[in-house]
Chains A and B, each alone.
Chain A
Amino acid sequence: MTLQEDMTREGHTVPAKTPGKPDVSGKKGRGRRVTLLVALGVALPVLILVAAGSGQVDIPPGQVLGSVLHRLGIPIGDLPTAAQGENALWIVRIPRVLMAAVTGAALGCAGALMQGVFGNPLAEPGVIGVSSGAAVGAAAVITFGLTGLGNWTVVAAAFVCGLLTTLAVYAMARANGRTEVVTLLLTGIAVNAVAGAALGLLMFLSSNDALRSITSWQLGSLAGSTWDAVYVVGPIAVVGCLVAIALGRRLDLLALGERTARHLGVNVERLRFTGIVVIALLTSAAVAFSGIISFVGLVIPHLVRMAVGPGHRVLLPASALGGACLLVVADLVARTAVPYQELPLGVLTAVVGGPFFFWLLRRTRARSGGWG
């Protein structure tokens, strides 16, 4: 019973409203959202299979599937016939493809989460300094040849530094118990500048070998991905994404503005803090193992928004799945496009992601009149 109907019955004067039927478009939107999630959920394993079936050793996807089934105890399908094929598949290729998937998921979800937390479609984990902080940690370890934890030293240092940087940025950007988005972004820019200078100094101090390591790490690469790496990044990506999805509804409310979100019952400070910790976690894990891979966290959430709107409960999982798909494909191109060469992954995602993003932006601006 609307107020108008009520009041008209009670005899009050009510101005006539504009005639028109409310169109329940919620159902149509929901159908599209489910379709997208299902499509991505199906595409990912298919892409993983195709990627695992491509590379310098000739193991077609059929044999990949056969090998997987045999390992699961189901003796169907052919095993790899190439020399060292089984080893190349399980020691080198599959960990790498899985690493691409979990890294992509972490980056995609972190990007979407960041845009939600800061209410800014241009937000990206690189902006608040996580990537730079992680880079300084890793470069310091590489330059000074620290090997406290063996092969894990670089990774751990990047992780710790990325997280510390993020928390420092957050603390510096707070005033009176509130975090203003603009202040946060500006502080992030300052941190990036300082981290960049620190990185430059470390590169100056480093030997040629270390310099090469740092430089190639800065460009992003999944070469040398091991199962150990997958066992670390995988669970972190899963947990991080799940926590992020749980924040989804509250992030929607945050889009109305801090004040209004608070009026609707959201503990804005706690939401922002949790969001930032998860962002730092996801990004540090991805960057620490694979170097700086850009654009995934910026483009994928945008594409998802353009397809199904900005609701975070779909945006976050779709960004995770989309990011995973994107990075699996990108890594596939990086290692097979030019024979015997590996294109740097971060450069590839930027070179392809940039123009694609501009094209889509132009197309969407005409339709929905703004940052879709």
Chain B
Amino acid sequence: MSVGIIEGFRRRTRLPGERVSLTAEGVSVLRGGRPVLSGVDLTIEPGEVLALVGPNGAGKSTLLAALCGDVEFTGDVRVDGLPLAEWKPVELAMRRAILTQTHSVSFSFSVEEIVRMGRAPWIGTPLEDEDDEAVYAALEDADVSRFVGRPFPRLSGGEQARVALARVLAQRTPVVLLDEPTAALDVRHQELVFAVTRGLAARGRSIVAVVHDLGLAAAHADRVAVLSDGGLTACGAPEDVLTADLLSEVYGHPIEVIEHPRTGRPLVLPLR
């Protein structure tokens, strides 16, 4: 449903193409004088799931925030070749969607209303016609269809996390940034989230997911970027990056990596 008349007085809005590029070059973030990120270079490729891992305080969420423009940074972040400042907020919203760590809602909106909010950037554009279908599909994919009429605050933490994910999915952007999307979820839903992200990647979208669980990163990611002390320590295929030596050093704890007998993917385990 469009409130076309008043909304339509927009300046010309540039719609995105099928693929959107997102690059970070020499990104550094200072917080309270202390460097949280130092000189991080990262290119998000289309059609891949990139997992961002690292110990607590390594700067993973900060890097995501810098990519969104939520924090002050030095360096260069470009979306489709242009710096962040040269895009209107709504144009950025059409290109990249972000799932944050916390999901609080000030008022008691229903699940459907919240997921529908993900369609907001498309109001007044031809893609508005997809709204109902996008919302329905997103609800199904995040497995929250049965909560459709329920007020958001009455859901459990995990259910709220999935609704937030559904909102992000409904936004249907070429780039999706997820900050710890599996933190509150049970194993079934953790796998579901990554199944969904793999499906998105298969269709040419770019996914960046911050994860704590190295096992998930190892099993599902196409590339893994390891952050430590504000710097990018390694970035590449899981089997290349997730080595026992590197991980033990980064996490400060002995870690062993063995090969999964069936899939061949690395299995990351602390040495016990």
A121 CB within 8 Å of chain B: yes
B117-A264 in contact (CB<8A): yes
Q: A311-B109, A368-B108, A370-B108 are in contact. Are A256 and B114 (CB under 8 A)?
A: yes
Give bound CA distance, A215 to B112, whole Å.
49
Give bound CA distance, A260 to B109, whole Å.
15
A20 CB within 8 Å of chain B: yes
B137-A17 in contact (CB<8A): no
B108-A265 in contact (CB<8A): no
Cβ contacts A258-271/B at 8 Å (1 or 0 each):
01101111110000
Shortest Cβ distance from residue B177 to the other chain A in the assembled complex, whole angstroms: 9
Which chain B residue shows the least CB distance to A243? B6
Q: A255-B107, A368-B108, A370-B153 are in contact. Are A264 and B118 (CB under 8 A)?
A: yes
Cβ contacts A14-27/B at 8 Å (1 or 0 each):
11011011111110
Cβ contacts B126-151/A at 8 Å (1 or 0 each):
00000000001101110101101101
A253 CB within 8 Å of chain B: yes
B199-A7 in contact (CB<8A): yes
Shortest Cβ distance from residue A177 to the other chain B in the assembled complex, whole angstroms: 10
Candidate in A14, A22, A305, A311 with the most chain B CB atoms within 10 angstroms? A22
Shortest Cβ distance from residue B213 to the other chain A in the assembled complex, whole angstroms: 16
Shortest Cβ distance from residue A293 to the other chain B in the assembled complex, whole angstroms: 25
Shortest Cβ distance from residue B5 to the other chain A in the assembled complex, whole angstroms: 9
B195 CB within 8 Å of chain A: yes
Using Cβ atoms and an 8 Å threshold, which residues of chain B touch A21?
145-146
B153-A22 in contact (CB<8A): no
B110 CB within 8 Å of chain A: yes
Which chain B residue shows the least CB distance to A30? B1
Cβ contacts A78-122/B at 8 Å (1 or 0 each):
000000000000000000000000000000000000000001110
Give bound CA distance, A305 to B104, whole Å.
18
Using Cβ atoms and an 8 Å threshold, which residues of chain B touch A256?
105, 114, 117
On chain A, which size bracket covers the interface?
Answer: 35 or more
Using Cβ atoms and an 8 Å threshold, which residues of chain B touch A15?
188, 191-192, 195
B90-A265 in contact (CB<8A): yes
Shortest Cβ distance from residue A282 to the other chain B in the assembled complex, whole angstroms: 19
B198-A12 in contact (CB<8A): yes
Using Cβ atoms and an 8 Å threshold, which residues of chain A touch B224?
none
Which chain B residue shows the least CB distance to A246? B6
Give bound CA distance, A309 to B117, whole Å.
15
Using Cβ atoms and an 8 Å threshold, which residues of chain B touch A305?
107-108
A121-B148 in contact (CB<8A): no
Which chain A residue shows the least CB distance to B118? A264
Give bound CA distance, A249 to B113, whole Å.
11
Shortest Cβ distance from residue B142 to the other chain A in the assembled complex, whole angstroms: 9
Which chain B residue shows the least CB distance to A17? B143
A259-B100 in contact (CB<8A): yes
B196 CB within 8 Å of chain A: yes
Cβ contacts A338-363/B at 8 Å (1 or 0 each):
00000000000000000000000000
Give bound CA distance, A266 to B199, whole Å.
29
